Amino acid sequence: MKKKISFIGLALLLLLTACAPKFDKQEEVIQDSEAKKEKAIIPKYKISDKYYRTTLPFEPSEARGLVVANLNTRYDINEFETGLMRVAQHTFDPDKYLFKEGQFLDKEEVSYLLNRKFTKSQLKAEKLKVEDNIGLNPLDPGKGDIDKRQQENPLYLAHILEHDYLIKSDKDTVGLGGVVIGLALNSVHYYKKEDFGADYETRIPKSELMEEGKKIAQQVLQRLRKKSELKQVPITIALFEQAPKTSAVPGNFLAYSEAGEGEGNLGKWQNINEKYELFPPPKTDEKHREDVNSFLNFKQDVEEYFPNFNGVIGRAFYSDDQLQDLSITIPIQFYGKAEAVGFSQYVTGLVMQHFPEYVSVEVNITSVNGPEALIVRKPETSEPFVHIYE
C-alpha cells in the first residue's frame, strides 16, 4: 500500500508552498449595522464545507474567555463551540453566510444571566442593583438544609455562547443575517456545604434538564428581542448538555429551536441525536458492538508490536447512531526516530485494515518528548496522510 510520509524541512516547505490558501483575491465589502459602517475583507478560500468563512479583521466577542471558566473540561469547550456551528448549518448555509463572534451579549450581561435569581437581601450582600437581578438559574432561598436546597434548586445553566452570521445584502455590503445561541446545561450540579469545603454533587435527569433548558431559551429569546439590532433577525437557540468533570469525552447538543424574523416565541424543538463514546468502553456496549470490536482488534494489533504496551484510547463521535469520527491516541516510548517511523507505518496499515471507509479516523502517536506522528484517513479515501514530527 502506498503511504504519504512528510518530514519537516524542505519537503514540508514545498508542500505548504504548493497547497497554501491563496488570499490575493480577497473581496472587500462594507460591513453594515445600525451603529456603524466599516470596511471588511472576505477571504475567497474556504478550507471545508463544514466551516464558515469569517470577515477580516477578526472582531472578538466582548464575552470572549468566559467559556473557559464556565465549562468543565477542554473537551466540552471545543465541542460546545464547534457543535454550535453544526447546529447553525441547519439554518445558515456556509456557502452564503459568514461567521462572526457574538457582538450583542457582553461579558457583564452574560455573567449576570448565569447568576441565580436573588432576594433583596442577597442582592444587597452581592452589592448588585435591582436591574442586575436577571439571573436565569433558580433562586436559592439560603435557609434550611443545604443538601435539600441544592438538590431542589440546582444550577442548570453553565454558559451562554453567541455566534453571529452575516450575509450579503447587496454587491458590496454585508449585514447581520441571523444569530445562534448555545446554552450549556449542567448534567451534574456541584456545590459546597461550606467555604473551601469538599465538593458535593447531584445528577440532573435529562428530562428535567430539557424542560428547564427550554424555559431558559424562551427567556433568552425575549431578552435578545429587546435589543434594537435583533428585533427582526432570525434567532436559533440550541441546548448543550456538558459532561461531568471526570469525563474523558465531551458532552453533546440535545435539541435546537428557531424563531423567524421578528418572532417572539421559539418554534418546535428539533432533537439532535449526537453522542461521544470512549473506546474501549468501560462496560459492554451492545449498541455499537461492531465498532467496538473493530477498535479492540486494532488495539490488539498495536499491542502485538510492543507486547508490554497497553494504552490505546479512542473517542468516537456518533450522529444518528452512525459512527462519523474516531480520534485515537497512542502514547508510547521510542528509542530512535527510525523506530517511530516504522511504528507509524505499521499503525497506518492497521487503520486501513480495521476501520470502515466511511469513518474519518485520526491517530495521534505521542511520547514523553511530545507528538511523534499524525495519521489522518478521511472518508472514502484510498490513501491516508501521515506526518512524522521532526
Give mean pLDDT, residues 258-285.
94
Query: Which of 302, 326, 325 minimizes the C-alpha distance to 312?
Result: 302
> Does residue 167 lie within any of the structural domains?
yes
* Confidence band, pLDDT 50/70/90 cuts, at residue 357: very high
- Is 42 inside a domain boundary? no
CA distances from 362 to 14, 109, 357, 380 (A): 24, 39, 13, 14
Clarify whether residues 235 and 323 are in a common domain.
no
Indicate whether 104 pLDDT > 90.
yes
What confidence category does residue 18 fall into, taking pLDDT thresholds of 50, 70 and 90? very low
For 353, the grid coordinates are 485494515
Lowest-pLDDT range, 41-45, 157-161, 206-210, 284-288?
41-45
Q: pLDDT by residue (tens digit) across 232-262?
A: 999 999 999 999 999 999 999 999 999 999 9
pLDDT score, position 45: 67
Q: How many domains does the chain have?
A: 2
Residues 127 and 198 in one domain: yes
Of the residues 206, 241, 272, the one at which a domain ends: 272
Classify residue 18: in a domain, yes or no. no
Same domain, 226 and 117: yes
What pLDDT score was predicted for residue 12?
A: 35
Q: Report yes or no on 29 lying in a domain.
A: no
CA torsion sign, 105 to 244 to 291 to 332?
positive
User: Which cell numbers hold the place of 128?
Assistant: 448588585
Same domain, 167 and 263: yes
Rounded-to-integer distance, Cα 224 and Cα 316, Å: 36
Residue 40 lies in a domain: no
Share of the chain above pLDDT 90, in %: 69
Q: How far apart are CA 107 and CA 62, in angstroms?
A: 6
Domain identity same for 259 and 301: no
For residue 281, give Cα distances in angstroms to 79, 165, 312, 313: 20, 38, 12, 10
What's the CA dihedral at 73, 77, 78, 84 to 10 degrees? 140
Please determine, for residue 285, whether its predicted confidence score (pLDDT) is greater than 80. Answer: no
Q: Is 328 within a domain?
A: yes
pLDDT in tens, 291-302: 999 999 999 999
Residue 323, φ and ψ in degrees, nearest 5 = -65, 125
Query: Among residues 276, 197, 264, which one has the least CA distance to residue 231?
Result: 264
Q: Which residues, in sequence order, are CB contacts of 359 under 8 Å at separation 6+?
A: 323, 324, 325, 326, 379
| 361 part of a folded domain | yes
Q: Which of 222, 252, 272 is the last residue of a domain?
A: 272
Same domain assignment for residues 303 and 210 = no
CATH of the domain at 131: 3.10.570.10
The residue out of 240, 272, 304 marking a domain boundary is 272
Contact status, residue 366 vs residue 309, Cβ threshold 8 Å: no
**Is residue 350 domain-shared with residue 252, that is, in the same domain?**
no
- How does the average pLDDT of the chain come out, rounded? 88
pLDDT band at 286 (very low <50, low <70, confident <90, very high): confident
* Same domain, yes or no: 63 and 92: yes
Whether 21 maps to a domain, the answer reads no
Q: What is the pLDDT of residue 261?
A: 96
Same domain, 212 and 333: no
Instruction: Give strand pairing partners of 41.
Output: 28, 56
Using the predicted structure, report yes or no on whether residue 159 has a pLDDT greater than 80.
Answer: yes
219 and 106: one domain? yes
* Domain shared by 320 and 373, yes or no: yes
When pLDDT is averaged across residues 149-164 and rounded to a whole number, the result is: 96
Give me 75's grid cell: 473537551
In contact, 167 and 177? CB cutoff 8 Å: yes
Q: What is the mean pLDDT of residues 125-149?
A: 92
The model's pLDDT over 198-223, given as tens digits with 9 standing for 90+, comes to 999 999 999 999 999 999 999 999 99
Provide the residue range defining the domain that includes 297.
278-388
Record the pTM. 0.87
Question: Looking at residue 335, what is its pLDDT?
Answer: 77
Residues 153, 188 within the same domain? yes
Read off the CATH number of the domain in which 305 is found: 3.30.300.190
Confidence of residue 101 (pLDDT cuts 50, 70, 90): very high
**Confidence (pLDDT) at 44:** 72
